[in-house]
Structure 1
Amino acid sequence: MATLAQAPRTPAQAPAKAPGHWSELRLSEADLAHIPGEAGWPVVGNTFTMLADPHAFAERMIRTHGKVYKNRAFGGWQVALIGAEANELLLFNKDKIFSSEQGWGPILDQLFPRGLMLMDFDHHRIDRRALSIAFKPEPMRHYSGALNRGIAREVANWAGDLQFYPAIKKLTLDLAADSFIGLPWGPEADKINVAFVDMVQASVAPVRRPLPFTKMKKGVDGRAYLVDYFTQETLRRRAEGGGQDMFSQFATATREDGSLLPVDEVVDHMNFLMMAAHDTITSSATALIYYLAKYPEWQEKLREEVFAVTGGPDGDGNPRPLDYDDLAKLDLTEMAFKESLRLIPPVPSMPRRALREFEYGGYRIPAGAMVGINIHWTHHSEEYWENPERFDPMRFTPDKVRERHKYAWVPFGGGAHMCLGLHFAYMQVKILMAQLLQRYRIEAEPGYRPSWQDWPIPQPRDGLKVRFTPL
């Protein structure tokens, strides 16, 4: 297939905004004829091939076509841009070429509309600033207390053999009820958990219409249930006054002009945040537990750090809570978490839509093109990481980080859309590690390697079989 010459080109003058909404316009194969790639099977394209093994598919495409290639899946064409430089181009978005709203729209619009990821530029900046109040020091200190209490109560019952993924998934939902909502959910917790699972699974369902008995129908029904729940709760919070929990902060947040966010936008933000916090933290914590079980020497190093910071269990053998002011002292724990995020990033790839024509890698990418980066590939590339499949938290010493391309590690995204709750994620995982490592030795069978479902958010297919042996 023909490609453009690699010589530099002068970018063409482009329209100031996208040529139509993503739902109104899809580029044809002719529009992308100069970019190498594959159409896949009739009608479905490469959708099922990608879902079966997305990382192997990407490796083959890069090996065959290079670091800029086109691919037809999920009903349309996408252009993949591969590597740290591509990550920087899309995430930093210096020239405002790319729309996050229109990139995620085809995947999430039926399920998580108007979440922060589905906003661009001024609208995104204004709402992000309003919502950031929930992550200021005073609310974060409140969350840390709730996390310490909730995690200590639950993990006390984890001794013995355990499927970690469903256990941590239940725990993160319970923690969300306390830290995010500020009230116990009781019997509604199971319904809410099912709704979130259905929505996330529907986000990459091959059938994009909510037809009966499809994943998309279950996801849309889950959204309807949560919209009703969060709408009622938003109105109640505003009537009764604010609180320190995250939902109350969102419900009473104001924009720069002092106006409250519309109720339906509060609901959509809360819906999206719950999905992001619930499923990504579940995936990330599971990855860290797996690597600590696999590499007991690193587990011991983290345990020594935790004991040094907390003082170890009290006289009755109960783990001491991790004080909010001590979070920053767990350097090695944070480095181990970052390394697990490198190896198993909770968001393996990230889409955008080009609002105007641009040049990358010697190719002209037309306005309207759906484009995406592959975070997992960059995190595993020998271009940026020595022996990339090895678990080595020392990759994240300050010196090592300075030597590396800034966008070679992007599990939280980057630029204006950097994950708003990343510090909450660090806090929750550190408190979890402090409780577990003061109480248990985390073990797995020799040679154990679980199979991972890679999309939409990684999870072990067998639930991650580990053993928590009391110290």
Structure 2
Amino acid sequence: MATLAADPAEVATPKHWTEGNPTDADLAHIPGEGGWPIVGNTFTMLADPHAFSRRMYEKYGKVYRNRAFGGWNVAMIGAEANELMLFDKGKIFSSEQGWGPVLDQLFPRGLMLIDFDHHRADRRALSIAFKPEPMRHYAGALNRGIAKRMAEWGEGDLQFYPAIKQLTLDLAADSFLGLPFGPEADAINEAFVNMVQASVAPVRKPLPFTLMKKGVDSRAFLVDYFTGETHRIRAEGGGQDMFSQFATAEYEDGSQMPVDEVVDHMNFLMMAAHDTITSSATSLVYLLAKNPEWQDKLRQELTAITGGEGKDLAYDQLGAPELTEMAFKEALRHIPPVPSMPRRALKSFEYAGYEIPAGAHVGINIHMVHHMEEYWDNPYSFDPMRFTPDKVKARHKYAWVPFGGGAHMCLGLHFAYMQIKILMAHMLTRYRIEISEGYDPAWQAWPIPKPKDGLKITLKRL
């Protein structure tokens, strides 16, 4: 059984992540470009990832190679590529070896960083946390926390992104850990923020005074905390919070998940949940402010369902706000919280007429496919009616994949829908969301989208 290293800095990159990388000659038949000496296209790509990808696609087509971050990556564009990689019928692609080089120092053995039988067993065990009774408990906690924060925000100007990020962290501490808002929750929240920032830090070693050092230290703090809490819950019993569900998770044979793996899964889930929900809530609020006619439609729908301001959207009502769900899906299409997704090929395969060799680092571009006219009419307009059942049925199943797909589809997607619907139910029945005329904030596109200025909105009391 694997054991958890005391210091994540001591975890060496597994050799099988880098052994067998294709040579330049192995990839020479794939069109593309290597960019500058040493750095490749890294800085060009980071300056505007979407524009870079669009240019490469228009120049080279649905398969191209790009040298960045120290090696070659093969991009595969299109809904068919999404299906090939995410459904992965032939067990060609490793998620562990795709994400691992970026996330393993901080979030080892999270669900995205394990493959095949191990992934299936852990996913089945952890799914207990998303069964109806725990979800009913989370719905109550979300309604209480969001209603209280809406009242505290009050009328006036607000930087939405930092405000919703803090709220999402607080809600995660409550729903996921069963902690009241307060100093203990704040310390845990700060640790998660440090780890997320470190995951994309340019300096990849935990040298003094670096983001990676802060991230590694924060991981050590959370490992100690979650380890102690897992033992306590198993000895004394826990509550209905998500961590209690994880701590008591069992495999099909009745054995409990090892403590160190519970800790790793909890660390990863907290990171994945709060950052992606923060991003998607921000994009939805921005698009509703920009399209006030849709904001009005959602407000009318939610008022009719809940009864108006101050009323909860109960767990049993979550299926009712259909327009709200379609608007959220459209926001996820416009600004998917995970804009691209990496894998590593465990064996050679073919896509769009090209043979891609075993060992190649490959990826799909979710953001681009979400904006391709091949699948979407007027892709840059905001139109939630794209998600009526008949239109969904007529479209390629993998043209819209904000939650991934296949075996690695986001385990918490129903929690995300629930949190966004409850947020909208309390926010839109209390406030009108406005932005200045012509306001068009620049967005940081990678790794998780966010408005560079924090998204300046004004809340007007209804």
Deviations 1:159-194 (A, max 9, x none): 211001111111011111111001225223443333
Deviations 1:300-357 (A, max 9, x none): 00000001101223xxxxx201111111000000000000000000000000110101
Deviations 1:41-78 (A, max 9, x none): 22222222221111011011112221111111112211
Paired position in structure 2 for 1:248: 244
Does the 8 Å contact 1:126/1:255 carry over to 2?
yes
Paired position in structure 2 for 1:422: 413
Does the 8 Å contact 2:179/2:185 carry over to 1?
no
Structure 1 segment 448-467 matched on structure 2, within 5 A = 448-467=439-458
Structure 1 segment 28-427 matched on structure 2, within 5 A = 28-159=23-154, 160-184=156-180, 186-313=182-309, 319-427=310-418
Question: What secondary structure is seen at the aligned counterpart in 2 of 1:156?
Answer: helix
Deviations 1:371-393 (A, max 9, x none): 00000000011111100000100
Does the 8 Å contact 1:201/1:456 carry over to 2?
no
1-structure distance, mates of 2:303, 2:353: 53
- How far off is 1:203 after superposition? 2.4
2-structure distance, mates of 1:44, 1:109: 22
Q: State the TM-score, normalized to the length of structure 1.
A: 0.93
Does the 8 Å contact 1:238/1:251 carry over to 2?
yes
Question: What secondary structure is seen at the aligned counterpart in 2 of 1:413?
Answer: coil
How has the CA–CA distance of structure 1 residues 44 and 210 changed in structure 2, closer, same or farther, with 3 Å as cutoff? farther
Greater mean deviation of Cα atoms: 63-72 or 208-217: 208-217
Structure 1 segment 21-32 matched on structure 2, within 5 A = 21-32=16-27
2-structure distance, mates of 1:463, 1:142: 31
Residue 414 of structure 2 aligns with an amino acid whose one-letter code is H
1-structure distance, mates of 2:336, 2:281: 11
Question: What secondary structure is seen at the aligned counterpart in 2 of 1:284?
Answer: helix
Question: What secondary structure is seen at the aligned counterpart in 2 of 1:416?
Answer: helix
1-structure distance, mates of 2:35, 2:189: 35
Residue 344 of structure 2 aligns with an amino acid whose one-letter code is R
- How far off is 1:463 after superposition? 0.6
- How far off is 1:412 after superposition? 0.2
Deviations 1:70-127 (A, max 9, x none): 1111122110000100000000001111111111111111111100011111100100
2-structure distance, mates of 1:350, 1:77: 15
Query: How many residue pairs are counted as aligned between the two chains?
Result: 448
Does the 8 Å contact 2:22/2:358 carry over to 1?
no
Identity %: 78
Does the 8 Å contact 2:251/2:257 carry over to 1?
yes
Structure 1 unaligned spans of 5+: 1-18, 314-318
Residue 425 of structure 1 aligns with an amino acid whose one-letter code is A
Structure 2 unaligned spans of 5+: 1-13
How has the CA–CA distance of structure 1 residues 26 and 215 changed in structure 2, closer, same or farther, with 3 Å as cutoff? farther
1-structure distance, mates of 2:71, 2:199: 15
2-structure distance, mates of 1:225, 1:470: 42
Question: What secondary structure is seen at the aligned counterpart in 2 of 1:157?
Answer: helix
Does the 8 Å contact 1:23/1:106 carry over to 2?
no
Does the 8 Å contact 1:162/1:468 carry over to 2?
yes
Question: What secondary structure is seen at the aligned counterpart in 1 of 2:67?
Answer: strand
Greater mean deviation of Cα atoms: 243-252 or 30-39: 30-39
Q: Over aligned residues, Cα RMSD in angstroms?
A: 1.4
- How far off is 1:214 after superposition? 3.2
1-structure distance, mates of 2:401, 2:19: 31
- How far off is 1:20 after superposition? 6.3
2-structure distance, mates of 1:38, 1:229: 46
How has the CA–CA distance of structure 1 residues 175 and 47 changed in structure 2, closer, same or farther, with 3 Å as cutoff? same
